[in-house]
Structure formats: C-alpha cells, structure tokens
Amino acid sequence: MKLADRTSRIASSPTMKVGATVDRLRRSGIDVIDFGAGEPDFSTPDAIKVAAHQALDQNFTRYTPVAGIGELKKAICERYKTDYGVDYTENQVIVTAGGKQALYNTALSLFGPGDEVITHTPCWPTIPEQVKLADATPVFAHTHVEDGFAVHAQALLDAVTPRTRGIIVNSPGNPTGALISEGELRVLGEFAAKQHIWLVVDLCYEKLIYDPVPHNLPKVLAETCPEQAVICGSASKAYAMTGWRCGWQIGPQAVIAASNAIQSHSTSNVTSITQKAAVEALRGSQAPVTVMLDEYRKRRDQLHAWLTVDPRLRCRKPAGAFYMFVDISDTLSPDGFRTSLDWSDALLDEQRVAVTPGEAFDAPGTIRISYATSMELLREGSTRLLAFVEKHAPQAATAR
C-alpha cells in the first residue's frame, strides 16, 4: 500500500501510546497504576460545566466563525491583559482545538521546505513532528540534567544557521517542568527581531508554576519582538479541560489570518459549546486553578521525597507542569536493562506501573512520571517503583 511520503517521516505520539497500553490492559481486567497520563485528574470546575449546559440549552450548537466567537477572543485578550499586562486585539487571536492545533497552525503558517526550526530537548514530541509535517527540519538544542534542564538562550542560538526560520520554546516544559527565565527569553526575542526569525512560545502549562518566580513571557515578547512572536496557549491543563479541546494562538494579524485560512479548510471552528465554556473558564473565578495548583504542589513535594530515598533515582523538583522527570541511568547496565524503554516495559509488566520512557522525549536514560493522579496512587506506585529498582539494580546501591 502506498501512503503519502510524509507519513513515513513522522512517528505517532509516543506519550499517547502509553495511555493506549494502559487502556488495553485495563480493558483486559488488569489493574494498572498510570503515571503516564499528561492530563489533570481533576474534574472540570463546576462553573465551566454550567456554562456548557447553558450553551446547549440555548441551542448554541451551530457553526461559529472559524477563529472563534468574539466573546471568547475578547476573554482571551482580557486574560492576557490582566495576567501579563499585554494588549492584544481580537484579530490577533484564533481559537483552536487545544494548544496542539495552535502549534500546528503556527508550524503550517510559518515554516516550509528547507527551513530549520530550533527547539530545546528533552521536548514534547509533537513539537518536532509538527515541524516535519510542515516539511521543515527540526533542530535540537540540548538542555541538561545538572541545571534542571533550564533553557538557555545561547544553546538555542548556537544552533542557528542561515536556514533557521524559527525557534520554539516551551515553558514550563513538558517533560522536564523547567522554565525559561525572562532574561533568557529577552535574548531570544531581541535576536528574533533583529534577524527576522519567528519566536514561538508554547505556554500551555503557564498557569502551573509552583513558586512566585518572574515568568511574564508575553510581556517580554511584546517588548522585544511583537512582529515575530507567536504564543500558543490552552485551557486544557489550567482548567482541567483536556477533552473539551480549546486552545488559542496569539500573534501578528497576518499570521492569525494565515492560520484562519488553514483552519477554515481543515477543522473550522472549535466546538461551539466548548467555546462558551472557555469564556467562563477565562472570565470566571480563577480560584479553582489555585486549588489544583496547590494540590499538584503537595504531590510534587511528596513524590520527590518518596523517590529520592533511593539515590539511583535522580530528580529535581520541577518548577512547573505536573511531571517528575527522573534520571534512571544509574539503574541501567549492560547486564540488566540497557534502555529506559526496556526498563519501563518491565516496570509495567512486573509491577503494573506505567511511566513514559525518556525515549519519547529524545532523552534516553530517563522516565517521566505524571503526578496528575491521587496521592494514594502516587504512594502505592512509588512503593512499587522502588521495589522494582531494588530488585533489578541492587549492586549499584552498595557500590555508592
């Protein structure tokens, strides 16, 4: 069977594969602790659900403008004004089916054959795959475990060539939870403005930052490179709305118009009911976001304490998002598990605990544990994980 060439250039989402395996095992009656899920375990806050019910009751069920209803675009602009002090107009915003489509619209609008697009790694696999779908080439700048995978501008700039057309930054980052500082983004923004390259910032986890560190990235972009910057945001993680599919792309009017044209011939508008729900999410009380963040913080601290009892599990507390990114290379060996992929498969097989192997993020020797799950399951899962490490790599413990 002859499929289009592009299908051979891209790989399906490895993070979603873990979810599919968990699903399969559960359907066959096997109880699995799932640390793979990249989504909040909380229910969507009630006020948002009420807004959706109202939309249905009012038969708000027809096509809307491709870029979204005016009310929602306005709510997005207001949210960014309130939270970051930046001014956007409605024609600089398009509502998308999650942050994923915001990033995809961006890739298709800005990049093409012969272009190189730099991003930092370990990274969320969709970012480079979308660049490839746009017929461009992803280029990787490595971040390092020693400084908590912090994103440094220089590492990205070192990868620049005459073909560079864009830089994509994800902060807080999946899978590392690391941030780019305002100062580092400023360096990139100034470079982007001077060299006329695009600076795309994936802010899908922007509401999930644990400590009060300065992270006003929209302001930095507005000050340094407003004509070259695109922000991709999402209601998914902040408001526990992953299934509703609502995100947004904010950028120069021409970029948004191009995205509008692309979206008009692919998915059209985001579900009308979702849009009304998102208006409530953005305009209503933000207290539920704080409640969820506080709970994630407790889980992060607790999980970190549990795991680091074993020095072979090396990890730092992430600054944002809800993933513990653990370096397990001390537990790998030529006689035992050689790769984190084998390690993760065996953990699932023996202990019924699902984690995402680092290979999914271009980071072999690591695993990603999502703590978007209950404290009880985190306790039980980490107990099993520690027992697994003890069983398979006992020599290393005595060697230390």
Ligand X SMILES: Cc1ncc(COP(=O)(O)O)c(C=O)c1O
Residue closer to ligand X (CB basis): 88 or 124: 124
Residues 6+ apart with CB under 8 A from 24: none
Give the footprint of ligand X on residues 183-212 (CB under 6 A). Answer: 202, 204
Of 56-64, 220-228, 234-242, 332-340: span binding ligand X (CB under 6 A): 234-242
120 scored as a contact of ligand X (CB under 6 A)? no
The residue with its CB nearest to ligand X is 98
124 scored as a contact of ligand X (CB under 6 A)? yes
Residue closer to ligand X (CB basis): 174 or 224: 174
Residue closer to ligand X (CB basis): 79 or 384: 79
- Least distance between ligand X and beta carbon 59 (Å): 27
The correct pick among 73, 100, 186, 392 for binding ligand X (CB under 6 A) is 100
Of 73-81, 92-100, 146-154, 158-166: span binding ligand X (CB under 6 A): 92-100
320 scored as a contact of ligand X (CB under 6 A)? no
**Nearest Cα to Cα of residue 260 among 75, 73, 6:** 73
- Least distance between ligand X and beta carbon 156 (Å): 16
- Least distance between ligand X and beta carbon 45 (Å): 17
**Look-up of token digits 């930046």:** 86
Rounded to whole angstroms, the Cα distance separating 156 from 119 reads 7
Residue closer to ligand X (CB basis): 236 or 274: 236
- Least distance between ligand X and beta carbon 98 (Å): 2
Q: SS3 for the chain, per residue?
A: CCCCHHHHHCCCCHHHHHHHHHHHHHHCCCCCEECCCCCCCCCCCHHHHHHHHHHHHCCCCCCCCCCCCHHHHHHHHHHHHHHHCCCCCHHHEEEECHHHHHHHHHHHHHCCCCCEEEEEECCCCHHHHHHHHCCCEEEEEECCHHHCCCCCHHHHHCCCCCCEEEEEEECCCCCCCCCCCHHHHHHHHHHHHHHCCEEEEECCCCCCECCCCCCCHHHHHHHHCCCCEEEEEECCCCCCCHHHCCEEEECCHHHHHHHHHHHHCCCCCCCHHHHHHHHHHHHCCCHHHHHHHHHHHHHHHHHHHHHCCCCCCECCCCCECCEEEEECHHHCCCCCCCCHHHHHHHHHHHHCEECEEHHHHCCCCEEEEECCCCHHHHHHHHHHHHHHHHHHCHHHHHHC
The correct pick among 143, 174, 176, 370 for binding ligand X (CB under 6 A) is 174
- Least distance between ligand X and beta carbon 127 (Å): 7
Residue closer to ligand X (CB basis): 106 or 228: 106
Give the footprint of ligand X on residues 11-50 (CB under 6 A). Answer: 38
The correct pick among 36, 68, 98, 318 for binding ligand X (CB under 6 A) is 98
Of 50-58, 95-103, 324-332, 369-377: span binding ligand X (CB under 6 A): 95-103
Of 93-101, 132-140, 256-264, 352-360: span binding ligand X (CB under 6 A): 93-101
Residue closer to ligand X (CB basis): 200 or 326: 200
Residue closer to ligand X (CB basis): 54 or 286: 286
Residue closer to ligand X (CB basis): 164 or 249: 249
Binding letters toward ligand X, positions 132-171, x by CB under 6 A: --------------------------------------x-
CA distances from 74 to 64, 78, 91, 263 (A): 15, 6, 10, 19
Footprint of ligand X on this chain (CB under 6 A)?
Answer: 38, 98-100, 124, 170, 174, 202, 204, 234, 236, 242, 247
